[in-house]
Amino acid sequence: MSNKIITLLIILITFGGVISCGDEREILDSSTREPDITFAFDVMKIDMNLIDNLPVVAIIRSELGLKNVLIQIKKTDNNIIDYKTFTEFFNENSFSYAEKINYSADYQSIIITATDKLDRSISETLPLNITEVKEAPSIIFNPSSILYDEIEGGEMPETNFTVQSVAGLKSLEMFLVAESGQTQYGFPIDFPDKENEYTFNQQIMYKEGDKGFRVKATDIYGQVKIATLPVQYLTPTPPVVTITEDTIYADKDQTKIIPLQITSQRGIAEIKIYRIEDGIENLVHTIVRDDKPLKLNLTPEVTCTNATSKIKIVVSDVVNKSSEALITAIVNMYFTAHLEIGTHPLANGYSGYPNVYSLLSLKDFKTYPVDYAVENEANASNVDLKFYAFGGQAVLRMYSIDGGTGTKSNEFRGSSGKSVLDMPIQNATKVLKLVDFDFDNATAESITRDIPLSNIVSNTINPFNVGDVLAFKTASTSTSGGDRVGIMKILDNKQVNPSNVTARVITVSIKFPK
Amino acid sequence: MISLKNIIGKFAALIVFVLLNTGCDMPLQQNYDYESSVLDPHISATAWDFLQTKSDLFSIFTEAVEYAGLDNYYKQTERKYTFLVLNNTAMKLYMMDRFPGTNSITECDRDQVRDMLLYHIVDGEYSGYGQLPVEPMFVLTLLKGDQGLMTMLVRKNPWQADAGKIVINDTGSNGSSPMRLATTSNLLPVNGVIHIFENYSYYKK
């Protein structure tokens, strides 16, 4: 009996356990509320001109639990696009849908359909209010360009332009464009009422150098349009002054005729002639022409003083446009613009660069060979300076004729073993390197006044370079006369013998007051 | 006679069957996210009653709610809301920012105060107990329009000091709205959820 009872208990427990392994089915309560959908907005305003449109936001709730949520887009042609379906939810009782949709202009609404686990569905629609992409402002000038010719004259055309903006204008700026740059015209205009059109019509008095009128329009979306009205303002050329010589030579207080040819498209009104003395312009003549000729040949006379460095001619036309011409004046001075002098290897000439020697005559503004200088006293006294280049760097030096081997006289060799040491007269010319001396505007007066004789005492300048201005004082034995001061500017320095770096030719300009 | 051997054998068979049958349908162990919580977050009172018990902390807020005429939301029990409650520090910051020079909330513009408070009531229950994800999700505040947009999330990383706390408008999730972190989260009154903040929230595009 007990055995049977135990066996029965085992069977009951065994089958009871098996029966209890049945699936647990979810009980779906149909009395729960249907899903509900709430949008964050009643109407979704989308502006396709903006990049920061808000997302579509909706909260979908289901008391029973969501099975799926379908997002659809309805288009203006009533077609419906299945956009997205959700079947998995973090919280099946409340689903937050938020998405920035890539909108199209023909989207009409967003439809959300929520279905719960009892397959009960509900749909809600979010209307879309879409603002389409709007073009940037347009600017139209009428006329499309302005041309004003001073010779023709007449009224300046009015500047007229119209700005149109589909979106609405925010601001407008105008600029006057000239050769010198761009400047704002007037003040920026704001459009608080977002006007769609603005018209400008005004006579702007353009002037010479103006190139255009620029307009910058900005709409409410920040779209910018810039347009420029081309402006051409034609002016006649200023008078043209033609001189026959760019340098005049005169003695002290000598009156010189200065031939001038003048032409003007508008008529010559006035000619002014200045004498530049020590850098100061002194008016010496004013010629007024009431007949306003278009062409004129003049031969005004100008008295050149010892301080005159230049003559300046200024010609004005009837609208006060002017031109000027400058003439260099060499008054009471010997002058050479370019003179070539050789260094010591060219002392007696160099076949590769003929007719240039290293001994300079200040009387003749000419160079001579050693053979010439050693020939007799007259020749010897006619050379004043010798030029030298030292070592591998070819450092330029200037020496007087005297000084013996101390001024390298033995290296200035002639034929038959002779050198400068053998010259019967050796001029003791003195030299000085000047600092900040204006060679180009130097006059006989300024040289005499500004370079004291007592300062020129050396027989050597070591070194000198291109651009330097050097003063010299002649020796009493020189054919150019004793104790006369002149200046020399070094213009160029070049090697003339490829195999000898010290064989060089130096180009100088010399002013030597009489 | 039943032998002891038989009895032992039958009991062994019984145990084997029991183990086999009770083992069926056992699910595999699931991933588990740790959720920190107070011992008992439930408050057997409405949100309004809770605020009254902490009048030293929420005196300005409750005055503002009454001034704006929104106290019924906190008192009712028919619908669940998530109440983002501002302590006195937050309310003073709000007054200083928006109405400088005022000494009382009743000196401030009523409509503006109302809008601010509507933004701090969220439709529905959103606590850290399975209702909020760790990624920001949009919720609906009672303030309509774009100014009412808000995101919420819950911090779940157990290694972070603020695990379990609620975050409003996590940086970058809702335009340029400033992020706010609850000082106290997930209080569960009978009419919803309360999260407490030390600074006020607002939407910024």
Over residues A30-81, the pLDDT tens digits come to 888 999 999 999 999 999 888 888 899 999 999 999 999 999 999 999 999 9
CA–CA separation, A461 vs A385, rounded Å?
A: 11
Q: Which residue of B has its CA nearest to A12?
A: B14
Residue A401 has pLDDT above 90, yes or no: yes
What residue type is A289 in one-letter code? R
Q: Out of B22, B131, B138, whose CB is closest to A98?
A: B138
Set of chain A residues whose Cβ sits within 8 Å of the Cβ of B144: 41-42
Q: Give the C-alpha distances (Å, rounded to integers) separating B14 from A9, A12, A61, A174, A464.
A: 9, 10, 49, 101, 126
Q: Which candidate in A21, A33, A57 is best for mutational testing of the B interface (most B CBs within 10 A)?
A: A57
Looking at the complex, report in whole angstroms how far the Cα of residue B120 sits from the nearest Cα belonging to chain A. Answer: 15
Q: Out of A3, A13, A91, whose CB is closest to B131?
A: A91
Whether the CB of B96 is below 8 Å from some CB of chain A: the reply is no
Set of chain B residues whose Cβ sits within 8 Å of the Cβ of A55: 138
Tell me what the mean pLDDT of segment A227-234 comes to. Answer: 94
Identify the CATH number of the domain in which residue B187 sits.
2.30.180.10
Q: Do domains A36-131 and A138-234 have the same CATH topology?
A: yes
Residues 6+ apart with CB under 8 A from A292: A266, A267, A268, A269, A318
Residue B76 is assigned to a structural domain of this protein: yes
Architecture of domain A36-131: Sandwich (2.60)
CA–CA separation, A82 vs A111, rounded Å?
A: 9
Number of domains in chain B: 1
Q: Which residue of A has its CA nearest to B203?
A: A54
Task: Give the pLDDT band (50/70/90) at residue A448.
Answer: very high
The parent domain of residue B167 ranges over 47-197
The predicted pLDDT at position B4 comes to 59
Looking at the complex, report in whole angstroms how far the Cα of residue A202 sits from the nearest Cα belonging to chain B. Answer: 42
> Model's pTM, two decimal places?
0.53
Residue B97 is assigned to a structural domain of this protein: yes
Under an 8 A CB cutoff, do B137 and A96 touch? yes
Residue A153 backbone zone (phi > 0: left; psi -120 to 50: alpha; other: beta): left
For B64, phi and psi rounded to 5 degrees? -65, -40
The predicted pLDDT at position B162 comes to 77
For strands B81-86 and B166-168, give the pairing: unpaired
Whether the CB of B9 is below 8 Å from some CB of chain A: the reply is no
Q: Say if residue A496 is exposed, middle or buried (CB neighbours under 10 Å; 0-12, 13-18, 19+).
A: middle
Class of domain A242-331: mainly beta
Residue position matching structure tokens 């008295």: A303
Whether the CB of B143 is below 8 Å from some CB of chain A: the reply is no
ipTM of the complex: 0.74
The predicted pLDDT at position A22 comes to 46
Using one digit for the tens of pLDDT, what is the confidence trace for B16-73?
A: 665 555 555 555 666 666 555 556 788 899 999 999 999 899 999 999 999 999 999 9
Structure token digits, residue A411? 């290296």
In chain B, what percentage of residues exceed pLDDT 70?
81
Q: Give the C-alpha distances (Å, rounded to integers) separating B155 from A20, A421, B84, B160.
A: 41, 107, 16, 8
Q: Which residue of B has its CA nearest to A42?
A: B145
> Interface of chain A against chain B, CB under 8 Å?
2-3, 6-7, 9-10, 13-14, 17-18, 20-21, 23-24, 38, 40-42, 52, 54-55, 57, 59, 61, 90-91, 94, 96-98
Set of chain A residues whose Cβ sits within 8 Å of the Cβ of B177: none
CA–CA separation, A429 vs A386, rounded Å?
A: 10
Residue A209 has pLDDT above 50, yes or no: yes
Q: Which residue of B has its CA nearest to A95?
A: B137
The predicted pLDDT at position A170 comes to 96
Structure token digits, residue B11? 């009991």
Q: Which residue, among A416, A379, A398, has the nearest Cα to A461 in the 3D structure?
A: A398
Residue B55 is assigned to a structural domain of this protein: yes
Question: Are A343 and A357 contacting, i.e. CB atoms less than 8 angstroms apart?
Answer: no
Using one digit for the tens of pLDDT, what is the confidence trace for A17-26?
A: 545 544 455 6
Residue A14 has pLDDT above 80, yes or no: no
Residue B56 is assigned to a structural domain of this protein: yes
Looking at the complex, report in whole angstroms how far the Cα of residue B167 sits from the nearest Cα belonging to chain A. Answer: 16
The domain limits of chain A are 36-131, 138-234, 242-331, 334-513
Under an 8 A CB cutoff, do B140 and A57 touch? yes
Under an 8 A CB cutoff, do A23 and B10 touch? no
Superfamily of domain A138-234: Immunoglobulins (2.60.40.10)
Task: Give the pLDDT band (50/70/90) at residue B82.
Answer: very high
Q: Count of CB contacts below 8 A, A vs B?
A: 71
CA–CA separation, A312 vs A230, rounded Å?
A: 38
The predicted pLDDT at position B1 comes to 45
Task: Give the pLDDT band (50/70/90) at residue B12.
Answer: low
Residue A152 has pLDDT above 90, yes or no: no
CA–CA separation, A240 vs A268, rounded Å?
A: 10
Residue A280 has pLDDT above 60, yes or no: yes
Element (H, E) at A83: strand A80-86
Whether the CB of B92 is below 8 Å from some CB of chain A: the reply is no
The predicted pLDDT at position A4 comes to 64
What residue type is B190 in one-letter code? V
The predicted pLDDT at position B5 comes to 64
CA–CA separation, A389 vs B86, rounded Å?
A: 95
Set of chain B residues whose Cβ sits within 8 Å of the Cβ of A17: 17-18, 20-22
Tell me what the mean pLDDT of segment B145-160 comes to. Answer: 88
Tell me what the mean pLDDT of segment B102-130 comes to. Answer: 95
Question: Are A470 and A487 contacting, i.e. CB atoms less than 8 angstroms apart?
Answer: yes
Residue A491 has pLDDT above 50, yes or no: yes
CA–CA separation, B155 vs A265, rounded Å?
A: 87
Under an 8 A CB cutoff, do A38 and B133 touch? no
CA–CA separation, B172 vs A101, rounded Å?
A: 18
A239 alpha carbon, distance to own chain's centre = 29
Three-class DSSP labels, A246-311 = CEEEECCCEEEECCEEEECCCCEEEEEEEEEECCEEEEEEEEECCCCCCEEEECCEEEECCCEEEE
Element (H, E) at A47: strand A44-47
Beta bridge partner(s), residue A123: A113
CA–CA separation, A72 vs A111, rounded Å?
A: 5
Whether the CB of B14 is below 8 Å from some CB of chain A: the reply is yes
Residue A134 has pLDDT above 70, yes or no: yes
Query: What is chain A's mean pLDDT, rounded?
Result: 91
For A13, phi and psi rounded to 5 degrees? -65, -40
Tell me what the mean pLDDT of segment B1-16 comes to. Answer: 63
Query: What is chain B's mean pLDDT, rounded?
Result: 87
Question: Are A348 and A369 contacting, i.e. CB atoms less than 8 angstroms apart?
Answer: yes
Whether the CB of B31 is below 8 Å from some CB of chain A: the reply is no
Classify A60 as helix, strand or coil: strand
CA–CA separation, B200 vs B183, rounded Å?
A: 12
Look up residue B66 and give its DSSP letter.
H
